[in-house]
Every structure is written in structure tokens, then in C-alpha cells.
Structure 1
Amino acid sequence: MPADFIIAPDLGNSRLTRAVDGFDHTGAKVPLNVVEERPLTIYLNSQEIVTAMTIGDYPEYLALGFLRNQGMLPDDVVVTSVDFDEEVETVVVRTNQTTTYEKKLKKKTRTSGCAVGTVFGDMMEGLEGVNLPAADVKTSWLYSLAHKINTVPSLYLDAGAIHGTVLCHQDRPLVYMEDVGRHNAVDKVAGWMLSEHTAAADKILYTTGRLTSEMVIKTAMMGIPVLVSRSGFTAWGVEIARQVGLTLIGRMRGQRFICLSGEERLIRDADISAVRQEPKAAGRKGAAK
């Protein structure tokens, strides 16, 4: 595992990919690793909440993070156990009291399609009164993080068709989670933070996915004040980021990035001429996202 990371992508986990043979445009046979997808059903006590398509690693973190980011685990609710049954691909999260969500939710299914992640109205309600800490961000941290994250061995580089989310502190990447949906990846990070009682006010969240409204909401619900991405923005994502005081930085590639929220918190201390340009292919061996 890379020295900076507490959790990094595990390319040695054979359950996450499958080797298949294909044929390229010339008719030549090409071996390729493709990412696995598995259904994971999440229960809150006795209520089935959702079935998510996921690569199958860290199911307990995914379940905890999903419930927390959807506002289903309020601060006054204590998680008493998290149990994963590999045979039936189910996680049961038990709490010390019944929550209101168990009575009003019906079964919903999240697919791996990036545009159709499940969004409950309670997420928006949960943003009421959220005002994130005004954390300064050094551009030298951002460039250092981008280089470390984009060059560490990962499923993203090996197989493609996957998103990564990384919890960072200043210029150090801490926890790197991957999944077929960017929402799953960020939920795994949220679950790890909840399990480890990790503070959020001094953290940065880096993602390979688009900065949509749901990604912004999840980051705000986690209490993280800075969200950074290689990809672009949606208008609603920007609007919500400005509403809650989230520093939002996108299109970060090589020397370039764009900040659409929280620009006043950026400390431009980096010598841009010394920043490495990003290779166009970036080592990708698999299919494009």
C-alpha cells in the first residue's frame, strides 16, 4: 500500500474484476479486465432500504455511509451493529432505536448508471442550517493531491468504468475508495469516517466524478468543507455549494482547475510552472469512463 494511504485500491482482490477476451478494431484478440457488479441490499433494522449495484468491497462502510448521507442516522441514533452476510449480499445496520425513515420508505433500487442515483427528499431537508467551516485551501495541496491520486495503482487506471473518491488532509490522501457509481464511492468514505469517528472540518474530498447536486449534498452532509474533481459541474451542484459554504473545484487536470464556489478561501501558494503536466493517457489500460 502507498505510504500516504490508510486505505488504497486493492488490485490484488480478484473479486473486483474479471478477465475477458475481446477484439479490437483490427480484429485482434485483446485480453481485458472488466469491473464486477454485484447487488448489495441494505437494511436499517428490519426495514429494507435499498439495493445498490456495487463492486462488493467494504460493504459495511457503504451501508453506513449511505444511511448517514441520506440523513437516516441522526446524531442521536446510536449504531449498535453492522452485519454483512456475504452469501445473500446483505448488510443489516441496527440502531438503539427505531427511526422515522423505516416507516415511510419503500424499496428503492440504485443502479450503477451515474445519472440515476437514488435521491430522497430528506437529503435536501437535511441541508437546512448547514454552514460548513470556512477552511483555507492551499493550491500546493491540490496539485500534490492530484499527482499522488492520479498515479497510485487503482482499478480506475487498470480497468476503467469506475469512479474513485479520496478523503484527504492537506496534501495527504488518506482513504481511497472506488466503485461503479461515484455515489457508492463517497458513501464508503462516509462510512469509514463514521466508524473511525474521524473529524471532517479539516478534510478535502477528491473525486473522479462529476460535481452534481447529490455529490455536493453528500459532501456537505459529511461536514467536509472542500470538494475537488477532475470532472465538471452541474448548475444545481454549484448553487448548493454556494448556499452551504462549500469550496468547489473542478476540471482539475495538470496545471489547470476552475473554482466555482469558495474562491476567497484559496491560497495560491503554488508555482504553477513547476507543476507537472498530466499525461493524456494517464496510464489507462481499460475502457473509458
Structure 2
Amino acid sequence: MHSKGCPDEYPISLLINGYEIAVFQLTKYNLDDWTYGYLFSEGFIQSSNDIESIVINEELSTINVSLRSEFDEEQFFSKKKHYTAGCGRGVTFFSMTDVKEFERVTSEKSYQLSYLLKKRSEFAQNSELYLETGGMHGACIVDENGAMTIREDIGRHNAVDKIIGYAIKNHLQPDRLILLTTGRVSYEMLSKAAKFGFPVIGSRTAATKQAVQLAKYLNIEVIGYLRGKMATIYTSAGRVENDVTGESSFQRIIEGGN
């Protein structure tokens, strides 16, 4: 019987301009990407240009970030915290009401369902840490040429932050990118994707009702249960065409209300 190794997680302290934000449980891969992505997703920065430097010290388990502008910790932490579901006790500073203030997605790029299923399969086959341990989450960007970039972490939120960090570091534009994730698409996962502006989000598992409501409001297409020839399209943005024939399990869920 083949035995897989245990997935790693470490407590790592994030400091901004010398002020400790929190201690996070992270996998020690692509920590610079995570830092950019987390700071962007939670509204600490608006672009990679807002960061002057990042110093990662794995021995001390610290990430020290210097911003180009002042950081008003009292004003920021006066905002209400929202504890997230699953993968540890994460926290976000964006409520559902806050997320509704994000810009709506206007991309007109569409995809065939068979293409999304193919890319989801390629994503799984190339998730090295998952294949090694069996206990990792992953997030993946697919660009308009079909090229894939994958980031992995013990937490699904962390993996999405890593891939968003990669995108903003490299000044990628979201309108022709697909986000694939192994994790459930909950409202805080949707908020991270919406903050960057992904027009299409695909997951191997489900989306929550709250995430679907937000996705409809922001004109984001959400596809769940991307496995084999399976798929559930929760939204009606018109970016996915069902071209899968034969023995397939396809469902389109359109619920009223935003």
C-alpha cells in the first residue's frame, strides 16, 4: 500500500509597517504570492505598487511588509471581523454588503463546458503537493491561451490568495482569466475572486447560496462539481455553453433574487 506524506502547515506572523496583523496557518510555498494576494483581497493594498518591500523570515516564521503609505491600524481594525467557514478559523474584513460594492464584471468571453472540464482535469493532474500528500487545496488561473498557473496550500482561502497574488504581481488583467479551485465557493471565497474581477469561477465541489447570490449580483459565472463529465452552473451570466454529450450529468440552477 502506497503511503503519502503529511501536508505541512506552519504558524506565520504577518506584520505591516511593524504592526502584527495576525498569525496564519500556511504551507511554506509561494509565501510572497500569498502576501500580495491576502493584502489585496482584504483591502490593505489596491495594487502591487503599494508595497515597498516584503521580507520573509522562515526561521522566525514572520512576513514583514513595508507599505509605501501610512497604515492606520486603529481605523482598519475598527471594521467588523467575519469568521470564515472551513479550513481553519480564517477571518475577512469584508461583509456581504461590502462585496456588493465591488465593480461588476463585464467580460463577454465565453467557454465551452468541455474546455472547463478538460482544464479542471489538467489542474488535478498537475497539483504536485496534493499528489504528494493527498491533503492540499489548490487554486489555478487559466489564461486566454490555455496556460495554467497553480498554487497550493493547506487552506483553500490561502491557495486562492496565492494565485491572486501571482496575478497582481504580474499585472494580469482578469477579463480573460478563469479561476479554478478545489475548495467550496463560499461568500468569502467569492469575495476574493470578485475583488480581483474573475469573470468565471469553477470548483470541483459546491457553491453556497450566499456566494451564488453575490455572483449573480456582480455578474460572475460560478460552476460547481466540475468532475469528469459533471457540472452544475449556478448563475446565468452566459459565459458557459454546454457542449458535453453522451452520459453526462449537467445541471443549471437559476434561482430568483439577488
Structure 1 length normalisation: TM-score? 0.76
1:244-274 deviation digits (Å, cap 9, x = unpaired): 1110000111111001113522233x34349
Equivalent in 206, 219, 223 of residue 180 of structure 2 = 206
Q: Does 1:239 align with 2:213?
A: yes
Q: Cα–Cα, structure 1 residues 220 and 150, in superposed 2: closer, same or farther, change >3 Å?
A: same
Amino acid in structure 2 at the alignment position of 1:154: E
* Structure 2 residue 192 is the aligned partner of structure 1 residue 215: no
Structure 2 residues without counterparts, runs of 5 or longer: 249-258
Question: 65-74 vs 39-48, which deviates more?
Answer: 39-48
Residue 94 of structure 1: how far off its partner (Å): 1.4
Q: Which residue of structure 2 aligns with residue 197 of structure 1? A: 171
Among residues 90, 93, 96, which one is paired with 2:68 in the alignment? 96
Q: Does 1:64 align with 2:64?
A: no
Which residue among 207, 216, 239 is the counterpart of 1:265? 239
Give the SS at the match of 2:166.
Answer: helix
CA distance 1:127–1:60, change in 2 (3 Å): farther
Aligned residue number for residue 85 of structure 1: 57
Q: CA–CA distance in 1 between the matches of 2:68 and 2:123?
A: 38
Does the 8 Å CA contact 1:232/1:250 hold for their aligned counterparts?
A: yes
- Equivalent AA in structure 1 for residue 110 of structure 2: D
Deviation at 1:214, TM superposition (A): 0.9
**What secondary structure does 1:233 align onto?**
coil
1:119 aligned onto 2:112: no
For residue 6 of structure 2, what is the aligned residue in structure 1? 34
Question: CA separation in 1, counterparts of 2:74 and 2:30?
Answer: 24
Please list the CA deviations of residues 63-82 of structure 1 after superposition, one character each: whole Å capped at 9, or x if unmatched: 11101001111359621111
User: Against the structure 1 CA distance between its residues 115 and 153, is the aligned structure 2 distance closer, same or farther, given a 3 Å change threshold?
Assistant: closer
Measured in 2, the distance between the counterparts of 1:133 and 1:142 equals 20
Where does 1:88-167 land on structure 2 (aligned, <5 Å)? 88-101=60-73, 103-105=75-77, 113-114=86-87, 116-121=89-94, 124-125=97-98, 127-134=100-107, 135-152=109-126, 154-167=128-141
Is structure 2 residue 6 aligned with structure 1 residue 48?
no
The alpha-carbon deviation at position 242 of structure 1 amounts to 0.7
Structure of greater Rg: 1
Contact 2:219 2:237 in 1 (8 A): no
Q: 1:187 maps to which residue? A: 161
CA drift of 1:151 comes to 2.0
Report the CA distance shift for 1:228/1:139 in structure 2 as closer, same or farther (over 3 A).
same
Question: RMSD of aligned C-alpha atoms?
Answer: 2.7
1:173 to partner: Cα distance: 4.3
Structure 1 unaligned runs (5+)? Answer: 1-28, 276-289
Shift of 1:59: 1.1
> 1:164–1:178: 8 Å Cα contact kept in structure 2?
yes
d(CA) in 1 for partners of 2:155 and 2:126?
20
Q: Is the 8 A contact 2:179 2:200 kept in 1?
A: yes
Amino acid at match of 2:59: E
Per the TM alignment, residue 192 of structure 1 is displaced from its structure 2 partner at its CA by: 1.0
Corresponding letter in the other structure for 1:62: W
How many residue pairs end up in the alignment? Answer: 244
Return the offset for 1:123. Answer: 7.6
**CA shift for structure 1 position 130:** 1.6
Q: Describe the SS at the equivalent of 1:114.
A: coil
Q: Percent identity?
A: 27
Question: 1:157-206 deviations in whole A, cap 9, x for unaligned?
Answer: 33122111001124724210111110000101111112111111110000
